[in-house]
Structure formats: structure tokens, C-alpha cells
Amino acid sequence: MGEKKRRRAAGMAPVPKTQPPRDTVGLLAEGRALQAQGRPQDAFARSRSALALEPHNADALHLMGIAAVAARLNTGVARPARHTPLPLPAPLLRAGPAMEADALAQACLERDLMLFDDVLADPMLARDHALGVCAREGERHARGNFPGVQTLGQPCQPLMQRIADALGRDIKWETPDNGAVRVSTASDVARCDIHVDSPTLVDVYAGVLYLSLPEHSRGGTSFWRRRATGWARRPDAHALQAAGYASSSTSSGATCR
């Protein structure tokens, strides 16, 4: 017999539930901590609870405004809790028959390629959730570089934390599509574009988490090398000037392989 039933049968009063004190100061402290952790949605909720206690509290209004903007712009930060370096990616990759193992390892090194394995406790559950979100919220962009439909950014703090731990450094994001879900079917087409994610910022990473079934795993992310210069990644300003280009965008129209 459970404790509640036992007490009821014995004519005893139920044990009152105790809740931690929820005052404005405590709620705002939690909200600031959550905002610093890159969790603006949770920070917004704490500031809203604080305002329910003190409707005109200036600190609560200020935190709510910051958190609301951060949530709308999809900004956040993850700080490493422990440094857990990743193994080299090349042994985990399947290269084409024309690529030797040493060449694959060098290609991974040149591109700062990292491979995260087993990042989801239940991949099929995550896949079902992603398909549902895309069906409800996904939009098709007629002139997009990607085929299919895509949602706005979705919460993905655990994944960002995993990346921060692997790098051993703080990472931040400030893009509306960080954590976005995309579904592309065999019939979808779009404008293909060889590009870098930022023409000016350094230490910018792009990540893709594929939820395709094994029998659907064809194609994927491609990496290109510019034939004329041998560039396999965005050159710095000095390399661009030496090659006679004003920016990386003006040099991206060349033939690649």
C-alpha cells in the first residue's frame, strides 16, 4: 500500500507538500543564472514569475526584456563543464574508393572536422519529434540554398553543451536557425551554393545532426576545394589580397572539385 493510501486508511492527515520559497529576489537570481547559461526561455519564465509577485519590479522588467530579445533572436552560450576531447574523425568515416586513408585524415585536419557519435539517447524518438515539428512549423523557401522545408531554431542546449565540452571552450550562437529542423525528400530541389557561413568572423562552426534512416543515408554534406588556388576553406584577408580578391564572396564563383 502506498504512503498516501496508508495514511488515508489510518485516518491520518496527508503530509503537506513543501515548496521552496519563491520570492522575487530568488526568482531573479535564478533568471540571471539561466540567462548566463544561454537559456533565455527559462530566464523569461523566471522573470515573468517575479513580475507576478511584484508587477512593477524594475529588475524583473529589465530581465524579461533581455530574455525576450534573446529568445526571439535565438542567442545563447554554452560553457564547458569538463573537457572531453573527441577521437580523430577519419577512422569513423567511410571514404570513397579513390581516397587513401592518409588523404582522408589530412582532409579532416584541414577542415577542423569533428565527428560526434551517440549524441542522442533515443534517436528514433528524436526523429519522430523532428518530423512532427517540421510538419507543424516548417516552411518552404522557394529560393533557399537547401531543399525541402525548415523550421525556426529549436532548443538544443544539451547538444551545444556537448560541443563546448569537446572544444574545451565557450561557444555562443546568435542566429535564428540554430537548432532548426529540416526535412528534404527525394523530390525536393533547391539552388545549390558553395559557401562559407561567415565571410569575416573567425572560429565559426557549422554542425549537422542527421536523423535519416540507414536505408535513406545518401548524399549529405559536401566539402569543396578551389582548383585555381587549392583553397579548401575560407582564406584570411592576406591570402585574399595576395590572390587579387576583395572578399571571399567574390572568389567563390570559381570552379571547384
Q: What is the pLDDT of residues 60-88, one digit of tens each?
A: 778 777 777 666 667 788 999 988 888 88
> Could you give the residue ranges of the DSSP H alpha helices within the chain?
3-9, 24-36, 40-53, 58-73, 101-110, 123-137, 157-167, 237-243
Reduced to 3 states (helix: H, G, I; strand: E, B; else coil), residue 29 is helix
Q: What is the pLDDT of residue 9?
A: 55
Kindly state the average pLDDT of the residues 233-241.
Answer: 84
Lowest mean pLDDT of 187-196, 203-212, 225-234, name the range: 187-196
In this prediction the pTM is 0.66
Kindly state the average pLDDT of the residues 190-213.
Answer: 80
Return d(Cα 15, Cα 7) in angstroms, integer: 9
Return d(Cα 198, Cα 36) in angstroms, integer: 25
Return d(Cα 60, Cα 48) in angstroms, integer: 7
- Cα angle value 198/139/149 (rounded, 5°): 75
Lowest mean pLDDT of 11-25, 26-40, 42-56, 59-73, name the range: 11-25
